[in-house]
A and B are shown apart, each in its own frame.
Chain A
């Protein structure tokens, strides 16, 4: 019975979705005159000197969204910790170590993965990638170590420091713009020449901060969840 209702509901949704989207032409230039897309592309190249226009949108034009997004991750890590928190575990954790091959492999890969992550977020304004991508790559590096060594410890204190300082950098860069008489998150540094590493004013700095923050937060999330082990009754 319930299935039938759901299927009818889905059929209605499907009908309208198909109806609407069949009228939106794929790959067609829909916007004439002034529009957000052309404005962003133009300003990204000429006013901000950032070659990756997705980065300039994420960090500058719609930087407020990104601040919110970083906050969502931060709060998700907080809420997750609050949900899974227990004062003390009962009994002994059931754990196993990965084989030697996996462990040495993980050890070997760990540093290159971190380096790759750092590369991705430092070059976020020049090439595809950025804080979110780089941060996630760094988190996967830590994930590898956490999986290979059951007793691999990530210091909670260090994570908190990195997370907080990166977040504070983001927020203070925004507020600095306000203090200097401009608007929140507005660029106040020289913009350099396009396609240089040092270009785009505060954009790369913010994206690097985002990279650190996302990396620390995702590592924290994974660490919290992985520590949620089965306990032997004792």
Chain B
């Protein structure tokens, strides 16, 4: 087994790990960072699979822009996933 194969397998495991982390993590900011890790590894995979054009696009759009758009949204909304809100009359109380 050559070093390339081994590193690909390690990256694949990392990628799946990042995906699972992104799903179970309650802090949305960390989850978004995990998705950007997925995109980063994806971009390396594209390069390995002889698709440099796609790798460039994924690196620019997947890693940078998608992440920043998510982060802007989280900054404008809320950062934690399981915040419960209780409505009393018209007021909303955050727990």
The answer on a CB contact under 8 Å between A136 and B64 is yes
Question: Taking the nearest CB of chain B, how far is it from the CB of A65, in angstroms?
Answer: 15
Q: State the majority secondary structure of interface residues on B.
A: helix
Q: State the majority secondary structure of interface residues on A.
A: helix
Contact residues, B53-95 vs A (CB, 8 A):
53-57, 60-61, 64-65, 68-69, 72-73, 75-76
Which of the 9-residue segments A30-38, A160-168, A172-180, A223-231 touches chain B? A223-231
Which of under 10, 10 to 19, 20 to 34, or 35 or more describes the interface residues of A?
20 to 34
The answer on a CB contact under 8 Å between B68 and A222 is yes
The answer on a CB contact under 8 Å between A133 and B53 is yes
Question: Taking the nearest CB of chain B, how far is it from the CB of A124, in angstroms?
Answer: 9
The answer on a CB contact under 8 Å between B61 and A136 is yes
The answer on a CB contact under 8 Å between B76 and A120 is no
Q: Mark A76-95, 1 if CB is under 8 A from B, else 0.
A: 00000000000000000000
Which of under 10, 10 to 19, 20 to 34, or 35 or more describes the interface residues of B?
10 to 19
Q: Which residue of B lies closest to A80 (CB)?
A: B69
A140 vs B61: C-alpha distance in the bound complex, in angstroms? 9
The answer on a CB contact under 8 Å between B68 and A133 is no
The answer on a CB contact under 8 Å between A120 and B56 is yes
A225 vs B64: C-alpha distance in the bound complex, in angstroms? 15
| Contacts A/B (CB < 8 Å), 13 sampled | A54-B51, A128-B53, A132-B61, A133-B53, A133-B56, A136-B57, A136-B60, A136-B65, A140-B64, A140-B65, A225-B73, A230-B75, A230-B76
Q: Please list the residues of chain B having a beta carbon within 8 angstroms of any beta carbon in chain A.
A: 51-57, 60-61, 64-65, 68-69, 72-73, 75-76
Given contacts A132-B57, A133-B53, A133-B57, 12 further A-B contacts (CB under 8 A): A54-B53, A55-B53, A120-B56, A128-B53, A128-B55, A128-B56, A132-B61, A133-B60, A136-B64, A140-B60, A143-B68, A221-B69
